[in-house]
Amino acid sequence: MYDHILVPTDGSENALPAIEHGVTMAARFGATVHALSVAPYVVTRDRIRYDPEERAESAVEAVERNCHDHDVDVTTVVRRGDPAREILAYIDDGTVDAVVMGTHGKTGIGSVFFGSVADRVVKNADVPVTTVRPKE
């Protein structure tokens, strides 16, 4: 059913349940996981202390380790830019046929004004998107 599953991650604790779900799903279908992390453009004075690309690399490496533990093929990609836009661009490349991603579970006024990466992906992706809420 699925041959290539995109698992976007920001490396946060909230992403862990989605990674587990995506890797388990890939193992079940014999699919390849595409681990994607997007380093957002950050302009700060303490840029030396905070490197979003290093965090993005660590995030995809964590997915890669999880895939190896479950004998699942994996491809890792780090991009720079707006996370939702880059995830949608990766989907538009036509390589993946499903997405499994975490959500921070925003509701109410915060969701209305700010939205989320997951919301934008769900609304604009042309492949099935499974969102996994963080554990309480």
Report the C-alpha gap between 1 and 100 in whole angstroms: 15
- Burial of residue 11 (CB within 10 Å: 0-12, 13-18, 19+) is buried
**Superfamily (CATH) of domain 4-132:** HUPs (3.40.50.620)
Rounded to whole angstroms, the Cα distance separating 8 from 12 reads 11
Domain limits, the chain: 4-132
| Summary mean pLDDT of the chain | 87
> How do residues 83-98 score in pLDDT, each as one tens digit?
999 999 999 999 999 9
- Largest Cα span, the chain: 48
CA distance 118 to 46: 28
More confident residue, 54 or 110: 54
pTM given for the model:
0.87
Type of residue at 25: M
Give CA–CA dist 49/117, Å, rounded.
25
